[in-house]
Amino acid sequence: MIKPIGSDELKPLFVYDPDAHHQLMHEAESLPSVVISSQAAGNAVMLGGGYFTPLPGFMNLTDALGTCENMRMSNGQFFPLPILCLLKNVDAIRDAKRIALRDPNMEGNPALAVMEVENIEEINDEQMAFMTEKIFRTTDEAHPGVKAFNSQGRFAVSGPIQVLHFSYFQDDFPDTFRTAVEIRHEIAERGWKKVVAFQTRNPMHLAHEELCHMAMERTGADGLVIHMLLGKLKPGDIPAPVRDAAIRKMVELYFPPNSAMVTGYGFDMLYAGPREAVLHAYFRQNMGATHFIVGRDHAGVGDYYGAFDAQKIFDEEVPEGALEIEIFKADHTAWSKKLNKVVMMREAPDHTKDDFVLLSGTKVREMLANGIAPPKEFSRPEVAQILMDYYQSLKKQ
């Protein structure tokens, strides 16, 4: 199986030993503590699950700036963007050596992790602007990722962590949430050697489904891991439980047995386009995938990124040899009226726009909300029904 990044084996930071876990939970109650941001909580969950191997915890400012500058930490380790715990106020933990990081997304703010504090550093305006520009390619506060990143606070608390739970993800998505450790185990159990990973924050329509089939066929893959984001999105995006149900129905009906796994991970969407695409590839290698689909406007939002910037970054900016996972570069896929099947648009040069079945997200949402199923060339009827039920339920609220 493909090796994790920077290590011979995964380094999950979750405390699996029951006695050690119990002891830490007890200790956390007496430690100085702070409620962290939702983004920092997502980082802790990813660290706990081994996705961010070999990081031992939250980065200090030097490492954060290094990852922004050239995707390298001060020790030379590759990482595509900063993994920070940013706080607005550090009065409660200023002189502490060990602290409890509390979960902002669960009732009662339970202890999510225990941190050994190595540094508390204040980030100045120039450093914050530099990191923002490097991560998002913009400092525009109208960008949802920029706004979220800059609203967390200016104190970076760094040091190794021990993770105590996986926030709400394990409780709310018991059938879907999986750590990198668990996914690696399941890939091994299924006997898959070549594995394609597909990232999604949306339900999968016919074009997405066919793109996965294309990628598997062209790479000679044994299996597909559909790996959906379960954390916070922007307003208007379809909630994770609805996406989950729609994707599971599609896999059940339209994928052969033992060819696709439906899984999810606990992290808030950054909408960082190219940099987030590299992060996505990073943790897909750690979970055991050998190939990763990067499509048009991957992890983008609005018009902040070029259609294929998230593909170009792998050739232009990712350090040589940093990743072993192979990138499957995909174009927009759509139903061809001429060929009577889904194709990548760049592979149909004799087509005009009118030769494809193309619907905007707004148009699709409008149809679903009115109980109208999109055409079968756009969406599987069983998937459309789940989405229609969801939109109809919104009307009744």
Is residue 38 one of the residues assigned to a domain?
yes
pLDDT at residue 241, rounded to an integer:
87
pLDDT for residue 395: 78
Instruction: Mark whether 341 and 223 lie in a shared domain.
Output: yes
Q: How far apart, in whole angstroms, are the C-alpha atoms of residue 42 and residue 268?
A: 6
pLDDT digits (tens, 9 = 90+) for 217-272: 999 999 999 999 998 777 777 888 899 999 999 999 999 999 999 999 999 999 99
pLDDT in the model for residue 51? 98
What is d(CA 76, CA 95) in angstroms, rounded to the nearest whole number? 30
Please, are residues 133 and 139 in contact by the beta-carbon 8 Å criterion? yes
One domain for residues 163 and 201 = no
* HSE toward the beta carbon, residue 243, CA cutoff 13 A: 22
Model pLDDT, residue 349: 94
Is the same domain home to 245 and 102?
no
Q: Among 167, 202, 237, give the residue marking a domain's end.
A: 167
Q: In this predicted structure, what is the pLDDT of residue 360?
A: 84
- Do 187 and 83 fall into the same domain? no
What is the pLDDT at residue 93?
97
Cβ neighbors of 137 (< 8 A, separation 6 or more) are 273, 274, 275, 304, 305
Asked if 160 and 184 sit in the same domain, the reply is: no
Q: Which of 72, 154, 201, 248 is catalytic?
A: 201
- Verify that 203 and 121 share a domain, yes or no: no
CB contact at 8 A, 110 and 309: no
Residue 2 in any domain: the answer is no
102: nearest Cα among 50, 172, 93, 283: 93
Task: Tell me, yes or no, if 201 is annotated catalytic.
Answer: yes
109 is catalytic: no
Q: For 135-142, which contacts have Cβ atoms below 8 Å and span 24 or more sequence positions?
A: 135/68, 135/81, 135/82, 135/270, 135/272, 135/275, 136/270, 136/271, 136/272, 136/273, 136/275, 136/304, 137/273, 137/274, 137/275, 137/304, 137/305, 138/304, 140/304, 142/302
Asked whether residue 288 is assigned to any structural domain, the reply reads: yes
- Is 237 in the same domain as 125? no
Number of domains in the chain: 2
391 in any annotated domain: yes
The catalytic residue among 98, 202, 248, 365 is 202
Which residue ranges in the chain fall short of pLDDT 70? 397
My answer on whether 202 and 107 are in the same domain is no
From 133, 167, 201, the end of a domain falls on 167
| 383 CB-near residues (< 8 Å, 6+ apart) | 203, 204, 205, 246, 249, 250
pLDDT at 27: 98
**pLDDT for the residue 211:** 97
Residues 147 and 182 in one domain: no
CATH number at residue 101: 3.10.400.10
Sign for the CA dihedral angle at 180, 182, 183, 187 comes to: positive
- Judge if 196 and 345 occupy the same domain: yes
Q: Identify the burial level of 130 via C-beta atoms within 10 angstroms of its C-beta, where 0-12 means exposed, 13-18 middle and 19 or more buried.
A: middle
Residue 12: inside a domain: no
Is 197 within the bounds of a domain? yes
**Alpha carbons 47 and 14: distance in angstroms, whole number:** 8
Whether 120 and 197 share a structural domain: no
What does residue 225 show for φ and ψ, rounded to 5 degrees? -110, 110
This prediction has a pTM of: 0.95
d(CA 164, CA 355): 53
Q: Domain end: 167, 187, 216, which one?
A: 167
CATH classification at residue 317: 3.40.50.620
125 and 28 inside one domain? yes
Q: Name residue 118's amino acid.
A: E
In a domain, 145, yes or no: yes
Residue 238: which domain range? 177-265+271-396
Instruction: Determine the pLDDT at residue 252.
Output: 96
- Does residue 11 belong to any structural domain of this protein? no
